[in-house]
Structure 1
Amino acid sequence: MPAAADGPVGADVRVVAGDPSPEELAAVVAVLQRQADEVAATGRAEVTESPRTGWDASARGLRRPLEHGSGAWARSLR
C-alpha cells in the first residue's frame, strides 16, 4: 500500500511567507526534487584543495601584507 494512502506524508518544505497555490508548491517541489536527483546521480564533487578555515576566509581581505625595513611604519600610514 502506498504511503500516501495511509495519510499525509511529512513535508520537507515549509512555507514561511505568502500564500502559494497548490500548483505553485507542486512546481517548487518538482524543481527541488529534480535538482536533488541530478546531484544524487552525479555524486558528490571531489574536493581538489582543502577548504580554508573560518579564520583564513574572513581575514583574507582585511589588509595588505606588512612591509619590512627602514621607514616601513611611516609608509604604512600613506
Structure 2
Amino acid sequence: MSSEPILQVVRGDPTPEELAAVVAVVTARLSAAAVPADPDRASGRASDWATYWRHARRPLHPGPGRWRASAHP
C-alpha cells in the first residue's frame, strides 16, 4: 500500500465530523463507480419484476353481460 495520503486538506481547519463527511461522500462515489451496470437496464429490457402485471390478469373484454363473466375464471 502507498504511504501517500489519498486526501489532503489544503486550506482551513476542518472538524473530524467534516472530514468524516468528505470521506463518506468520496467512498460512496468510488464504490458506485465500481459497480458494473445492470445488463437488463443497459439493453433496455424490462426486468421480470417490472413486467409481472402482464401475467397478473386477463385482458378486459367489454360488452353486455361481461360483468357477470368477470367473476368466473
Per the shorter chain, which TM-score range? 0.3 to 0.5
TM-score (norm 2): 0.43
